[in-house]
Structure 1
Amino acid sequence: MNSIGIYIHIPFCKQKCLYCDFLSFPEGMEQQALYFDALKKEIEISAGECEDYEVTSVFIGGGTPTSVEPSYIADIMGVLKGQYNLAENAEITIECNPGTADYKALRLYRDAGINRISIGLQSAKDNELLILGRIHNRKQFEECYKNARLAGFDNVNVDLMSALPGQTLRDWESNLEYVCSLEPSPEHISAYSLIIEEGTPFYEMYGENSGIRREHLLPLPDEDTEREMYHRTKEILEKNGYYRYEISNYSKSDRESRHNVRYWNGGDYIGFGIGAASLMKGIRYRNISELSNYVEAINKLDIFDILKAIRTEVQPLSKNEQMEEFMFLGLRMVRGVSCAEFERRFSCEMAEVFGEVIAELRGEELLEVTEDGIHLTDYGLDLSNYCMAKFLL
């Protein structure tokens, strides 16, 4: 039986952060109830498409899934367990922001079958959290982390963000050291650099066309400092028992995010909820993003028309597009990509298609060739965007 991953989008949050460009927003209880009723129906209707798949991972993301009534999440888990072929050891993750889930809620999630939690700390410094527009402080994170452990979560990820306004190298180092010192320490750490995205309050402040004078803003770290932060992340986390398996992700042994590895390996996944993306049998599509249109379509259309109405941007991927994605997504991982797997999927050798690019990047010491495949060097990972662009056909 083939395997698949499931992503479930919960768009609601208490307050949108200043850097966030995800499909998320605050919303009242009435709209939340309507959304979850529609979401359950979408998941139920889609079960037939997945009957030949074993579900090996589920990721409940957002938004802030823990900002809604916990029973909504438990109900969704009930539908999945009742109508999908969930693997016995399936990895089931929920995203959580500190201050949005007490012990009782966390225990309910765990009892419902969720076995991994990803906590959005972002910074261990209250002043940095205020700058980001986060709703929690360090004390609330510590309470959330403690309660997650007490509730039975033995697979915990902590998110951290670097290159924040006003942040020094030492500030970042101390954030990493703080997370590593937690008892027990998290099984997984995601360490990302802040990206100023269009359409966010941060872009209004720091974007190219900002009307705000830079002397009135906390400065962003310069390129040299940001590069040093990037290198120190690997050094500090490896010293504390975490190995880097992807550009921004570190884990203890056998604690990689199996759901995210599925994305990077080009495996099949299906997304439920507004804006959720899917890739199944070489066809990519995305759900519509407008909450009211999503709810209306699911509630008013005939069951056979619902999925057609809510799915948009339907794109069968060509063989070239699939090969491109196999390379530039797979090369995000430190282990790189397998020549044998490439040949199995595409019935041709990697060297036939990408031989010149591989030779070029190898000559620039950005890529290494092994018996099994190819992977980026540390230098290549530093210049990953440049390297991956080379694999576009």
Structure 2
Amino acid sequence: MDALALYIHIPFCIKRCAYCDFNSYTELEYVPSYLDSLKREISFYSNIERRISSIYIGGGTPTVLNEKELSSLLEAIRGAFNVSTELEFTVEANPETVTREKLEVLREGGVNRLSLGLQSFNDELLKAIGRIHNAEGFLKKFFMAREAGFNNINVDLIFGLPRQRVEDFLNSLRKLLDLSPEHVSCYSLSVEEGTKFYELKEKGLLFLPSEDEERIMYHSATRILEDGGYSHYEISNFAKPGRECKHNLVYWTYGEYLGLGAGAHSFMDGVRFYNAYGLKDYIEKVKAKGEAVESRERISEPEQQAEFVILGLRLIKGVDKAKFYERFKKDIDLVYGEVLEKLEKKGLIVNGKEYVKLTKKGLDLANEVFVEFLP
């Protein structure tokens, strides 16, 4: 039985962050009707003959749900699907919405990995980017999660924030290392259209660190985390041995996944499909049909090959040549020979016997590498 990763989207937040372009809403009055539709959609896919290898509930802010809502959702998930005995089950959480009672519900519902959005230990920066927690609140909830039995915690950090100095970021990183989480996701700020930061940037009112400062933050983070015992296994992700995120590895190794909830994407049997994006559209579609698929697209083999390589290059070890051949019955060097030669001459990749991987220079110019593989 082929394994399948399961993603579930909870699109609600108490407040929308200034940098966020995810599918999220602050209209919490829709929570009951949304959850009703979500559980119907879960039931619709319950006859799927695939073993679930990982579950990831993301958002939005899943922990904006109350204890009863979380419990009923977890019960619906566990009752509908055939899950692996080695299931990794992650829930994203905003520190301000975490309570001892909710943590107990998550543990009882089979959740064994928590992803906490810290972003920074600098309270002024947290306020500027629209976060609803402060550093002290994060620490309180981190230790609360430990007391509740969570021994696999990821913490998110963002660098390149407005008016952030290199030392600000490094201070946050060092404080986080003192807590010794199992996993750290370290992202560079991306200013996306439709966000408050984009509006400020268009008006010339968003004062970001220079590109050189942003790169110093990234390179310093890599060095400090590796020195602290973390493996840099993906462009933005670091883990203690054996604590890599199994769910995200499914994406990066071009595995198959089912996405449920508003705007969620899926990829199965060479077909990509996605749900209605808006809250009302999603709720109404599920009420009418039991599912909410808006569009389906069969991905051609050249597109699949390109996606396999681009996603695989996000991994520090790179693209596994044997896996590429196993999937497509073609030698990656024959399919992309000219591109690989060009990128290697530029010093952006290493084309080894078993793997194709980004160099340190390639990590900084990853998007420039990725576009070369597009069909």
Q: Shorter-chain TM-score: what band? A: over 0.9
| Matching residue of 1:102 | 99
- Supply the distance in 1 between the matched residues of 2:281 and 2:158 (Cα, whole angstroms): 34
TM-score normalised over the length of structure 2: 0.98
The match for 2:16 is 16
User: What secondary structure, in the 3-state scheme, does the structure 1 residue paired with 2:76 have?
Assistant: helix
Q: 1:197 aligns with which of 150, 170, 192?
A: 192
The reply on whether 1:227 has 2:215 as its aligned counterpart is: yes
Which of 285, 288, 306 is equivalent to 1:324?
306
Instruction: Give 4+ residue runs of structure 1 displaced > 3 Å after superposition.
Output: none
The answer to whether 1:69 aligns with 2:51 is no
Say whether the 8 Å CA contact 2:67–2:101 is kept in structure 1: no
Residue 39 of structure 2 aligns with which residue? Answer: 40
Residue 293 of structure 1: how far off its partner (Å): 2.1
Per the alignment, residue 388 of structure 1 pairs with: 370
- On the 8 A contact 2:40/2:290 being kept in 1, the answer is no
C-alpha displacement of 1:91:
0.4
Letter in 2 for 1:244: H
Q: What secondary structure is seen at the aligned counterpart in 1 of 2:290?
A: helix
1:78 to 75, 83, 87: 75
Q: Deviations over 1:15-39 (max 9, x none)?
A: 001111111111234x211110110
Are 1:175 and 2:163 matched, yes or no? no
Report the Cα offset of residue 74 of structure 1. 2.0
Between the aligned partners of 1:153 and 1:306, the Cα distance in structure 2 is: 34
C-alpha deviations, 1:230-251, integer Å up to 9, x for none? 1101011111111110000000
State the aligned residue count.
375
**8 Å CA contact retained: 1:284, 1:316:** yes
Q: Give 1:137's aligned amino acid.
A: N
Q: Report whether the alignment pairs 1:133 with 2:130.
A: yes
Identity level (%): 42
Query: Aligned partners of 1:289, 1:388: CA distance in 2, in Å?
Result: 27
Letter in structure 2 aligned against 1:107: E
- 1:81 Cα deviation from its structure 2 partner: 1.8
1:289, 1:119 → 2: CA distance?
25
1:141-220 alignment runs, 5 A limit:
141-182=138-179, 185-207=180-202, 210=203, 213-214=204-205, 219-220=207-208
**Could you list the per-position Cα deviations for residues 93-141 of structure 1 after superposition, in whole angstroms to 9, with x for gaps in the alignment?**
0000011011111111111100000000000010010110100101110
SS where residue 162 of structure 2 aligns? Answer: coil
Alpha-carbon distance, 1:311 to partner: 0.8
* 3-state DSSP of counterpart to 2:97: coil
Normalising by structure 1, report the TM-score: 0.93
CA distance in 2, matches of 1:28, 1:166: 32
Q: Is the 8 A contact 1:80 1:86 kept in 2?
A: no
SS at 1:47's partner residue? coil
Matched, 1:242 2:242: no
> How far, CA to CA, are the matches of 1:281 and 1:47 in structure 2?
18
What are the ranges of 5 or more consecutive residues in structure 1 without an aligned counterpart? none
**Please, which of 57, 60, 66 is the counterpart of residue 60 of structure 1?**
57
Q: CA contact under 8 A between 1:337 and 1:375: conserved in structure 2?
A: yes
Superposition deviation, residue 79 in structure 1? 2.0
Cα root mean square deviation, aligned: 1.1
For 2:146 and 2:290, how far apart are their aligned partners in 1? 40
**C-alpha separation in 2, matches of 1:46 and 1:102:** 31
Structure 2: runs of 5 or more not aligned: none
